[in-house]
């Protein structure tokens, strides 16, 4: 359902499309099947944040607007898709784009069109970082509010990007461009595979103990298995008391 170039406002329609697709899919029992929905959004909002006619938390790309767009989308899922875990891959610091571009004119030229605010000198590195952090806090606030906590639905942020300020590097100190697609912005197949490993490992970590910074330069990271004492995707509820949710299977 994801669409390249989407902003947070667009995931509301994507959520409706997902609901319609699942309801019409012959192999999906919406009421009985457990579902995992992943959301990764925010980069394109940051890329046009500086173009808003006014800039504050409620601007078209402000952090409150960003948060409300996610809430609206997830509410659609909650209202229509029981037995669903919504996993949101947390926002990352878009300032790393400027580090990718340094000395790489092809990347720099592409980003003038692909990410307008990156080339805006008034949008300083600190400004970019603080805006991204405000998005991260917005995501965390949705989770901590508990508004989407239910026995058959939950919303969990996977914050492994939060502390990353640098792109992946090669041993010689150069940016590892194989991590990115030819536009130096989106991930390549290799980049997606690397990020997917960190995403999986964060999903199986308890809420409150999830990693907030990973080494994107390390492609040897091992995949973790869920804990034997809590063999589930970790949510706010089962991270507090997993025993009450653990029912041995007929194979135990």
**Could you read off the pLDDT of 233-250 as tens digits, one per residue?**
999 998 988 887 766 665
Cβ 232 vs Cβ 226: under 8 Å: yes
pLDDT at position 105, please? 78
| Of the candidates 168, 173, 175, the residue with the CA atom closest to the CA atom of residue 215 | 168
Structure-model confidence comparison of residues 162 and 4, the more confident one: 162
Mean pLDDT, the chain, as a whole number? 93
DSSP letter for 122, please. Answer: T
C-alpha pair distances (Å), 173 with each of 108, 123, 166, 217: 19, 26, 11, 11
Flag whether pLDDT at 251 surpasses 80.
Answer: no
State the Cα–Cα distance between residues 52 and 200, nearest whole angstrom.
Answer: 35
pLDDT at position 59, please? 96
Cβ 166 vs Cβ 95: under 8 Å: no
Give tens-digit pLDDT for 89-132.
999 999 999 999 887 878 888 888 889 999 898 999 999 999 99
For the chain, the structural domain boundaries read 8-245
CATH fold for the domain made of 8-245 = Rossmann fold (3.40.50)
Can you tell me which residue has the tokens 């030229």?
109
- Please state whether the predicted TM-score (pTM) of the whole model is above 0.95: no
Cβ 44 vs Cβ 114: under 8 Å: no
pLDDT at position 106, please? 85
Residue 19 neighbours by CB under 8 Å, 6+ apart: 76, 77, 80, 81
pLDDT at position 230, please? 86
3-state class (DSSP) for residue 35? strand
Question: H-helix or E-strand containing 98?
Answer: helix 96-101
Long-range contacts of 163-171 (CB under 8 A, 24+ apart): 163/212, 163/213, 164/92, 164/93, 164/96, 164/213, 164/214, 164/216, 165/93, 165/95, 165/96, 165/129, 166/96, 166/99, 167/96, 167/99, 167/100, 167/216, 168/194, 168/216, 168/217, 169/217, 170/217
Residue 170 neighbours by CB under 8 Å, 6+ apart: 176, 217
State the Cα–Cα distance between residues 133 and 152, nearest whole angstrom.
Answer: 30
State the Cα–Cα distance between residues 5 and 86, nearest whole angstrom.
Answer: 21
| Of the candidates 3, 172, 163, the residue with the CA atom closest to the CA atom of residue 96 | 163
Please report which confidence band the pLDDT of residue 145 belongs to, taking 50, 70 and 90 as the band edges: very high
Please report which confidence band the pLDDT of residue 189 belongs to, taking 50, 70 and 90 as the band edges: very high
State the Cα–Cα distance between residues 94 and 58, nearest whole angstrom.
Answer: 20
Strand 35-39, strand 84-89: pairing: parallel
Average of per-residue pLDDT across 14-19: 98
Degrees (nearest 5) of the Cα angle 123, 126, 130? 95
Question: H-helix or E-strand containing 38?
Answer: strand 35-39
Average of per-residue pLDDT across 127-151: 97
Give tens-digit pLDDT for 47-87.
999 999 998 999 999 999 999 999 999 999 999 999 999 99
């Amino acid at each position: 359902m994801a669409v390249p170039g989407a902003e947070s406002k667009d995931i509301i329609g994507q959520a409706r499309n997902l609901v319609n697709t699942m309801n019409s899919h012959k192999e999906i029992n919406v009421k009985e099947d457990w579902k995992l929905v992943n959301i990764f959004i925010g980069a394109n909002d940051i890329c046009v944040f500086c173009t808003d006619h006014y800039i504050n938390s409620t601007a078209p790309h402000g952090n409150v607007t960003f948060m409300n767009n996610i809430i609206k989308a997830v509410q659609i899922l909650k209202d229509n898709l029981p037995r669903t875990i919504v996993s949101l891959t947390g926002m990352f610091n878009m300032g790393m784009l400027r580090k990718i571009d340094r000395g790489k004119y092809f990347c720099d030229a592409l980003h003038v069109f692909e990410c307008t605010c990156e080339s805006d000198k008034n949008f300083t590195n600190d400004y970019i970082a603080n805006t991204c952090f405000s998005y991260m806090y917005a995501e965390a606030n949705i989770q901590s509010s508990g508004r989407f906590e239910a026995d058959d639905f939950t919303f969990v942020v996977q914050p492994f990007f939060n502390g990353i300020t640098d792109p992946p590097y090669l041993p010689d100190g150069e940016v590892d461009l194989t991590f990115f697609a030819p536009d130096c912005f989106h991930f390549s197949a290799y980049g997606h595979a690397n990020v997917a490993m960190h995403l999986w490992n964060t999903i199986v970590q308890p809420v409150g103990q999830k990693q907030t910074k990973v080494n994107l330069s390390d492609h040897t990271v091992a995949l973790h298995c869920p804990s034997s004492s809590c063999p589930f995707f970790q949510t706010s509820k089962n991270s507090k008391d997993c025993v009450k949710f653990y029912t041995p299977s007929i194979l135990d």
